[in-house]
Amino acid sequence: MVGLSTTAKGDGFRDKVTDLLRISGLDPKVELLIGSKKVDIYFEDRHLGRKRRYAVEAKNYARPLLAKDLQNIIGSYSNLLDRYVDEILVVSQHPVTAAAANRFLEDEPRITHQTFSQLQESLLRFEPFLRSFLQRHDEGGLESYFVPPRLEDGSELIAFLDAWLVGGSDRPVAIVAGYGMGKTSLAQHLTFRLATRSLAGGTARVPVLVSLGGISREQGLEGLIATTLTGSHPAVINFSFPLFMELNRAGRFLVILDGFDEMKHMMSEVEFRANFAELNRLVDGKARVLLLGRPTAFLSESEQEYVLRGKHRFANQLLRMPGTPDYRDLRLELFSPDQVQTFLGCYFKLQHERGAVQGDDVFIARRLQELQSSEHEELMSRPVHARTRSTPWQFSARPTISRRLRRTRGRTTLQRGTLQFSWSVLLHRNSSS
């Protein structure tokens, strides 16, 4: 038959499907003789206390299946359906595209089709989990004022990450940037983009955002991933750590590890390195792992080389330990004046729409112009300061705070901005209590 793969490739594809079903917790039988027919794969599943019997036909065709292929398959089960088999699941490499084939699948409820990728997704269901994230994300309003960061060479970070996700190097990426550079906002934005694409039925990787800030001791990877994906409601359905790792290896996810510097606060150096060894288990096969944190997590350059590149100094030589990942280290550029202007305009618009900003148009315009002046240029170049200085409580006079800020004369703009940020947070907390 034209378009068929070799027997060896066909058997290999069948074994891939079998392994996937077994990892998901099922008990598939291969080449099982039922009646007079040898079935590729057979398994049983229970749902709401009812057993359902599946026969799986793994078809590693080099082309999409046609209506006649599906008709031949169901015809070969004419003596088994209803008596020994409740449903035939056909798994292939390509989606069904022919109108006649799709019509046949719609009209015949006893046969279904999935691509191998669709089977992977159906066994570990992220839909409710991702929808819950999108709902919380929309409430925060980040997408209405998020300004994509740039790398130190002036190139667009998002464009680089998009290309990295769909091809190219499997090398993991680390974004090591200082305080207030927008790392967590970037992590949430990437999760939003990929979750939206995934739920729309695209082939985008499923985002898995892991916050490392809550880890205060040595943590195994199994527990960390399980807590991330099942520790909130709604959880990922049918979660299985072995299945997660298999899908990660196959390239189904973007795992975002945010806040490795916060993870270190309560740890010894030995615990910190042990945790990184666990996290590095994610770097496998076609996986994509993005690491974010501050450089203050590293006590020395040698520790950074050890954690991010697996390099260890031995006898005055820097040697790389076998099997350790080599993260590509990306550096972020500060906000440009144009980015500051865009950010302030968008963030203020959001606050205005939510009724959080008071004052007439003249006062507000003057305040925004002041924030964009050259006096604040260095301060506003960090996203966290740009957001803090344009929050609602910054739009009204605060004499007490102003008197305290006068004491900071003689400091650099950035030092004064940090103190302003601290007092703003304190003021906000006091007014909320």
For position 342, what pLDDT does the model report?
A: 84
Torsions phi, psi of 365, nearest 5? -60, -40
pLDDT of 422 higher than 50: no
358 — pLDDT class (breaks 50, 70, 90): low
pLDDT tier at 91, thresholds 50, 70, 90 = very high
- 127-330: in CATH 2.40.50: no
DSSP type of residue 207: E
Nearest partner of 191 among 149, 136, 113, judged by Cα: 136
d(CA 373, CA 384): 17
Considering Cα of 358, then 361, then 367, then 371, what sign does the dihedral take? positive
Q: What is the predicted pLDDT for the residue at 305?
A: 83
The rounded distance, in Å, linking the Cα atoms of 66 and 7 is 20
Tell me how many helices (H) and strands (E) the chain has: 18, 12
Q: Is the pLDDT of residue 371 over 80?
A: no
What integer pLDDT is reported at residue 396 of this predicted model?
47
pLDDT, greater one: 18 or 270: 18
- pLDDT given at position 378: 62
Mean pLDDT of 63-75: 96
b/e map 359-379, b = 16+ CB within 10 Å: eeeeebeebeeebbeeebbeb
Higher pLDDT, 326 or 420: 326
Helix, coil or strand: residue 293: strand
Q: How far apart are CA 239 and CA 202, in angstroms?
A: 21
Dist. CA 267–CA 274, nearest whole Å: 10
Is 298 in a helix, a strand, or coil?
Answer: coil
Express each pLDDT in 168-205 by its tens digit. 788 999 999 887 788 999 999 999 999 999 888 777 89
Which range (38-52, 144-158, 178-192, 406-420) has the least confidence? 406-420
Q: Which residues pair with 55 in a beta bridge?
A: 42, 88
Residue for token digits 């669709």?
118
Name which of 135-139, 292-296, 376-380 the model is least confident about. 376-380
If we measure between CA atoms, which residue out of 278, 228, 234, 232 comes closest to residue 253?
Answer: 228
Question: What is the predicted pLDDT for the residue at 126?
Answer: 92
What is the pLDDT, as a whole number, of residue 426? 37
Please give the structure tokens belonging to residue 324: 């350790």
What would the pLDDT profile of 21-48 be if each residue is shown by its tens digit? 998 889 999 999 998 899 999 999 987 7
Q: What angle do CA 335, 337, 343 make, to 5 degrees?
A: 65
Section 380-406 average pLDDT: 50
The C-alpha atoms of residue 384 and residue 144 are separated, in whole angstroms, by 16
pLDDT of residue 389: 57
For 204-259, write each residue's pLDDT tens digit.
899 999 999 878 777 889 999 999 999 888 999 889 999 999 899 989 999 999 98
Closest CA to 99 of 70, 134, 72, 132: 70
What's the pLDDT at 9? 75
Q: Which fold has domain 7-123?
A: Trna Endonuclease; Chain: A, domain 1 (3.40.1350)
Neighbour tally for 269: CB within 10 Å: 11
**Cα–Cα–Cα angle for 59, 60, 66, rounded to 5 degrees:** 60
pTM over 0.85: no
What is the percentage of the chain residues whose pLDDT exceeds 90? 47
Mean pLDDT value of segment 77-93 = 94
Q: Cα 15–110–63 angle (5° rounding)?
A: 50
Neighbours of 339 (CB within 10 A): 19
pLDDT at 167: 82
* 288 bridge partner residues: 254
CA–CA distance, 117 with 246 (Å, rounded to integer): 12
Which amino acid makes up residue 5? S
Domain ranges of the chain: 7-123, 127-330, 339-432
Q: Kindly state the tokens that stand for 150.
A: 């740039």
Contact 412, 381 (CB under 8 A): no
pLDDT tens per residue, range 326-356: 999 999 988 888 888 888 878 877 877 777 6
Mean pLDDT on 87-105: 96
Q: Give CA–CA dist 343/361, Å, rounded.
A: 19
Categorize the per-residue pLDDT at 408 as very low, low, confident or very high, splitting at 50, 70 and 90.
very low
Window from 202-206, 302-306, 387-391 with minimum mean pLDDT:
387-391
pLDDT at 280 over 90: yes
Q: Do domains 7-123 and 127-330 have the same CATH topology?
A: no
